[in-house]
A = this chain, B = another copy of it.
């Protein structure tokens, strides 16, 4: 499997040492080129790189649908993904498209933009009529955990899933919680699945950057196995996203917009 490699390890347990092998999750820098210019280098688990690139471009606002993409090439030898964007009918360049699409900027050096952007979040996500039962939320989280085979082997990855009200549509594991989500977003673009009336599951914490991503993607409901942060909650409130944390076993916590959850018996 490309997702992990065997590495020599000296295991110490209960006073005894054992020279053996351990399965360690793969981490690889992948550089995304956009219209032949270097855009970003992501440290990731090197599978589903077409999905990673598409999802990253969508989450960052460079594209809105798969039709924005003219060409995508994955070069596993050079650890590169090259994407060419369509020039729109009005002859809009990739850079202009980016400026038009991108409403929220976050990340290193983006402090000021980050805060201006919070005020420009959309008032409501696309699917405000979305509803899902509590028992279904718990079942989906359970299913994601069962599919987390790389995590079971290595203990070193995050999971993400896109679900409809019934089942997991796309599932992915990656060393980065943002990468994992970008990959399932990319897969939804490849397969032409709308994510605006879906549920996003993640093993990672619901921090500000994560909730800004969810808001940009206009996903109405996100469930995490992990904790939220204060700023994550604030962004979920402003974007009217239903934000659920500590989803595990027979429990979860709803931090914002509980109206989308139907509390049925388990």
- Chain A interface residues toward B at CB < 8 A: 4-5, 7-15, 17, 22, 24-29, 31, 38-41, 43, 107-112, 114-115, 134, 154-156, 175, 205, 207-209, 226-233, 246, 250-255, 258, 261, 263, 265-266
Asked whether B175 lies within 8 Å of A27 as measured between CB atoms, the reply is no
Residues of B within 8 A of A266 (CB): 14-15
Asked whether B265 lies within 8 Å of A227 as measured between CB atoms, the reply is no
Nearest to A32 among chain B residues (CB) is B111
Asked whether B254 lies within 8 Å of A9 as measured between CB atoms, the reply is yes
Residues of B within 8 A of A111 (CB): 29, 31, 38, 40-41
In the complex, A229 Cα to B38 Cα: how many Å?
Answer: 25
The 3 closest A-B pairs by CB, nearest first: A41-B111, A156-B227, A27-B229
Nearest to A31 among chain B residues (CB) is B111
Known: A7-B230, A114-B41, A229-B27. A250 touches B154 (CB 8 A): no
| Among B109, B156, B228, contact of A41 (Cβ-Cβ < 8 Å) | B109
Asked whether B253 lies within 8 Å of A22 as measured between CB atoms, the reply is yes
Known: A40-B109, A111-B29. A7 touches B251 (CB 8 A): no
Asked whether B109 lies within 8 Å of A107 as measured between CB atoms, the reply is no
Known: A230-B5, A230-B27. A13 touches B108 (CB 8 A): no
Asked whether B38 lies within 8 Å of A156 as measured between CB atoms, the reply is no
The distance from the CB of A47 to the nearest CB of chain B, in whole angstroms, is 13
Asked whether A154 lies within 8 Å of B27 as measured between CB atoms, the reply is no
The distance from the CB of A121 to the nearest CB of chain B, in whole angstroms, is 15
The distance from the CB of A159 to the nearest CB of chain B, in whole angstroms, is 14
In the complex, A238 Cα to B216 Cα: how many Å?
Answer: 40
In the complex, A228 Cα to B40 Cα: how many Å?
Answer: 23
Asked whether B255 lies within 8 Å of A7 as measured between CB atoms, the reply is yes
The distance from the CB of A12 to the nearest CB of chain B, in whole angstroms, is 5
In the complex, A5 Cα to B14 Cα: how many Å?
Answer: 40
Residues of B within 8 A of A29 (CB): 111, 114-115, 208, 231
| Among B108, B115, B209, B231, contact of A108 (Cβ-Cβ < 8 Å) | B108
Residues of B within 8 A of A43 (CB): 207-209, 231
The distance from the CB of A82 to the nearest CB of chain B, in whole angstroms, is 13
Residues of B within 8 A of A154 (CB): 227
